[in-house]
Structures are given as C-alpha cells and as structure tokens.
Amino acid sequence: MQIEKEILALNAYDPQASKPGNERTHHAVERRLTAFGRGAVLFYREPIEAVSAEGVWIQGADGRRYLDVYNNVPSVGHCHPRVVEAIRQQVGTLNIHTRYLNAVVDSYAERLLSTLPAAIANVVLTCTGSEANDLALRVAQAATGGTGFIVSEMAYHGNTAAVTEVSPSSRPGRPLAAHVRTVPAPDSYRKPDEYPGQAMAAAVTAAIADMTRKGIRFAGMIADTIFSSDGVHADPPGLLAPVIAAVHAHGGLFIADEVQPGFGRTGDALWGFERHGIVPDIVTMGKPMGNGFPMGGMALGPDLLAAFNARDKYFNTFGGNPVAAAAGLAVLDVIREEGLIENARDVGRYLQDGLREIANRHLAIGEIRGAGLFIGLEFVTDRESKIPAPETASALINGLRERGILIGAAGAYGNTLKIRPPLCFGKEHADVFIEQCDAVLARISQ
C-alpha cells in the first residue's frame, strides 16, 4: 500500500464528500473556509464548533459536551485554573522580550533544565515546536559541518521550510529532499522477530552510508521518541540506545523531539527519551509546555550552543516571554503536585487493559500499544494478514464523535487511533471511551 494522505488530512472534513448536519455548522464551516481558504483543515464528517473547555471536556456550540481523548496540547487539562491565573497575572504585569532580565523567565529556564540530564545545561526558548526543531537542525549542522538528516518514514516535526523537509508525512507522494533519508519506525507488530533497536540502528547505518556515497555529510537524526506519527511505537524500552550509538559512531547528533511524548505523557518520567535510557544531544519541545499558550524550546549542552553561536546568532522576540514562562512554570507545578506522571502510567495501563478486553470481541483490532496516556489502537482487515483497515478507523472516529468523544488517527495508512488525552484523564473517562468504542465497533461490524 502507498501512503495516500498527509498527516493533517487524516480524518479531515471533506466538503466535496460530506455536508454538515445543521445550518449553524454549515454557516460556521463556510465562514472559516471563506476566510482561511478552501484548503483549511477541519476534523470529522460533521465539524465541531468549540466554544469552551475544562479539564478533559470540550463544550460545543451545539450544546453538547465532548470527551477529549485526542488533544495533547492542553497537557494538564483544558483551562487549568493554575495556568489561567498565572497567565492572567503575568500579562497584567509585564510581557517583553528576553533582552531584558526577568526573574520569571530565568526561574522557568532553571526549573526546566533541572528536569533534564546534567549534560543538557542550556536552553533557548522559542514560540513553537517548529521553531525549536528548525533551530536544532541548524545547531547540528554547525556542530558537525554536515547537512544530512535521518528521520522515520512517517515523521512529522513541524512547519518551517527546513523542518517540512524532514517531515515525510507532510509531503506524501513527493520525493525526499536530497539531504534527507528515512528509516522504518520500530514496528514490532509487523516485525515481531526483529530486535527493533538493532534493526533501526542497522537502517541508520545504511542510510548514512548512502549519504556518504552521494557526497552528503551526516549531521544527525531527529526522532519523536514515541514515533507517534508512524502509528505510536513505544516499545521495547531501551530501543533507542543502539540507535543513538550508531548516530554518534558516525559523527552525528541525536535530536529528541519531545513535543508529543514529553511532559509526562508516557507515564515513565517527564521525558519520553528517559524510558530508553539515553541522553540526547539536543531536546526540543513545544505545545504542551504552556498548556495551550504558544511556546517551545531547545535544550542542549553548552559546547553545542557555543559552536552554533560562533557561527550564527539567534534571537526570537517572543520566545521565552514572561507570560509564556509563567504558563510553563504553572504547568511544571501542576504535573508535580497533581501526580500527573503517575496518573498517566496508571490510567494508561487501565485503558490498555480495557481495550484488550474488547479486542476479544472485535477482530478488527490488530494491536493495542503505547506508553502511559499515549496509546495506538491499530485496525486491520484481519489479524492474519494484518492489512491496514483505515476505513474501520475512520468509521470509529466519526462514530465516536457522534457519541460525544473526540479522537484522531495516525500512521502511514490512517488505520491507528492516536489516543492522547489531557494528563488529568481518569479511569472514569477511560471507562466511557472503552464502552463507546465497544458499542461503535459492534455497530460497524453489523
């Protein structure tokens, strides 16, 4: 099978194929597409107009409350009062760029760095994860003198021109840029006899050799450490150890993109890379840092930053502004004080167990995998062939939307549900999701 859709098109509203179910929604869709263009992306056959949110719930203009099992951006819960108050107080006091000293900004940088390995002692704050990843690529190029990068086959790392080139999922059907190579994600479902880490390390080594033959010097590898866009591949723990060893053996840097697996989502630790026992050269982060307030960052060792600064200068007017820093501090406080890493671990296990139970009744479920509150639910036409079944995933997504549950898809074929709710998601919410998945799948199979 070929990859047919870019990642943003998975489960996207198609105005040619579907019509909104009521006049208000139709008007809202037309208003959006008129202003933003006909290529603007909306979810679901019948798009949702969101008007407010709290915790794990989103309120629609239709008067219905939707259980959010998809959005990792409000990491500690929609409109968390601690984060809201921190932003409110700071925006009413001061918001300015980082060329002025400010205690809130410096406190956030210190707190953030204290969560990372000791070798990663500097941070550069940005406004988005895309900016952070763009900067990380530049740092790797400055440190190594190379231009070549390796990514997974369905990687997504952001929206700048440079980052889109290392985001194959954003450019399906188009050839890779000359300096980019891809390697398969560690898919133990379809390759159960392989040692995923060693197999991926071998693929990395082969990709570097191909670059060398083409006269391209290797700069590094950037990876989302749970391979979310590839369909969520978390296991086995430690799989990235031989991969980073291969990268270093050939003079490259390893960039851990923690935008999605970071900030406690895997239930093992604050950072996704920690479950693999590695220390990346560069760590990038974004959306969940501020629970929805735009912010991002790149953390790295002082020597790498000095090498970059010797060649280039970087300044981001609103990167690390005091309001963002206040939001970030509140997020770190809430994760610790509300035990959200532990909650992700416990509720994630509970949710996986419940999904495995209904899998006994629904043979279209091929595999349940993931870590913490980041779970992939893969659908196949049958378990023997393991042929992807994106039509089942799409039907379930839209069926759940009709029942007040929001979820999305991932993977090369759009056949895997990407389950990543706010970290305050509880067992009672998991029960609702499991029950409704069971009911919709039963209806689909009739």
The whole-number average pLDDT for the span 243-255 is 98
Look at residue 172 in the predicted model and tell me its pLDDT: 84
Handedness of CA 294, 265, 238, 165 (dihedral sign): negative
The whole-number average pLDDT for the span 47-72 is 94
Distance, in Å, from the CA atom of 424 to the CA atom of 79, rounded to the nearest integer, reads 12
Strand partners of residue 98? none
Res. 184: pLDDT tops 80: yes
List Cα–Cα distances, 110 to 115, 136, 255, 282, in angstroms.
9, 20, 21, 17
Res. 213: pLDDT tops 70: yes
Structure tokens at 75: 């990491």
Structure tokens at 337: 């004080």
The whole-number average pLDDT for the span 211-221 is 98
The whole-number average pLDDT for the span 40-54 is 89
The whole-number average pLDDT for the span 84-112 is 96
Look at residue 43 in the predicted model and tell me its pLDDT: 85
Q: What band does 10 get if pLDDT is binned at 50, 70 and 90?
A: low
Per-residue pLDDT of 117-158, as tens digits, reads 999 999 999 999 999 999 999 999 999 999 999 999 999 999
Of 62 and 406, the structure prediction assigns the larger pLDDT to: 406
Handedness of CA 374, 375, 378, 384 (dihedral sign): positive
Q: Residue 16 CB: number of other CB atoms within 10 A?
A: 6
The whole-number average pLDDT for the span 250-272 is 97
Cβ proximity of 298 and 258 under 8 Å: no
Largest CA distance in the chain: 65
| Amino acid residing at 334 | V
Half-sphere exposure of 292 (CA within 13 A, CB side): 18
Residues of the chain with CATH 3.90.1150.10: 7-76+339-444
Q: What band does 441 get if pLDDT is binned at 50, 70 and 90?
A: very high
User: For a pLDDT cut of 90, what percent of the chain falls above it?
Assistant: 84
Res. 7: pLDDT tops 60: no
Per-residue pLDDT of 285-306, as tens digits, reads 999 999 999 999 999 999 999 9
Cβ proximity of 151 and 162 under 8 Å: no
CATH code 3.40.640.10 for 81-337: yes
The whole-number average pLDDT for the span 226-240 is 95
Per-residue pLDDT of 424-438, as tens digits, reads 999 999 999 999 999
| Closest to 373 measured CA to CA, from 437, 434, 423 | 423
Distance, in Å, from the CA atom of 166 to the CA atom of 153, rounded to the nearest integer, reads 10
> For residue 64, with 0-12 CB atoms within 10 Å meaning exposed, 13-18 middle and 19 or more buried, which class applies?
exposed
Residues of the chain with CATH 3.40.640.10: 81-337
Distance, in Å, from the CA atom of 199 to the CA atom of 242, rounded to the nearest integer, reads 9
SS3 411: coil
H-run or E-run covering 327: helix 322-337
List Cα–Cα distances, 210 to 105, 214, 232, in angstroms.
44, 6, 27
Strand ranges across the sheet with 65-68: 50-54, 57-60, 65-68, 405-406
Can you list the positions of beta strands (E) in 43-139? 50-54, 57-60, 65-68, 122-126
Distance, in Å, from the CA atom of 128 to the CA atom of 360, rounded to the nearest integer, reads 42
H-run or E-run covering 244: helix 240-249
The whole-number average pLDDT for the span 272-286 is 97
Look at residue 3 in the predicted model and tell me its pLDDT: 47
CATH code 1.10.1530.10 for 7-76+339-444: no
Q: Which of 275-279, 312-316, 388-392 has the lowest mean pLDDT?
A: 312-316
Cβ proximity of 256 and 50 under 8 Å: no
Of 4 and 441, the structure prediction assigns the larger pLDDT to: 441
Per residue in 329-368, is it b (16+ CB within 10 Å) or e — as a string? bbbbebbeebebbebbbbbbeebbebbeebbeebebbbbb
H-run or E-run covering 355: helix 340-359
List Cα–Cα distances, 372 to 270, 411, 437, in angstroms.
11, 19, 19
> To the nearest whole number, what is the mean pLDDT of the chain?
93
Look at residue 313 in the predicted model and tell me its pLDDT: 86
Cβ proximity of 266 and 272 under 8 Å: yes
Res. 240: pLDDT tops 90: yes
The whole-number average pLDDT for the span 306-317 is 92
The whole-number average pLDDT for the span 241-246 is 98
> For residue 54, with 0-12 CB atoms within 10 Å meaning exposed, 13-18 middle and 19 or more buried, which class applies?
middle
**Tokens 């305050």 sit at which residue?**
424
Distance, in Å, from the CA atom of 149 to the CA atom of 219, rounded to the nearest integer, reads 6
Distance, in Å, from the CA atom of 293 to the CA atom of 380, rounded to the nearest integer, reads 37
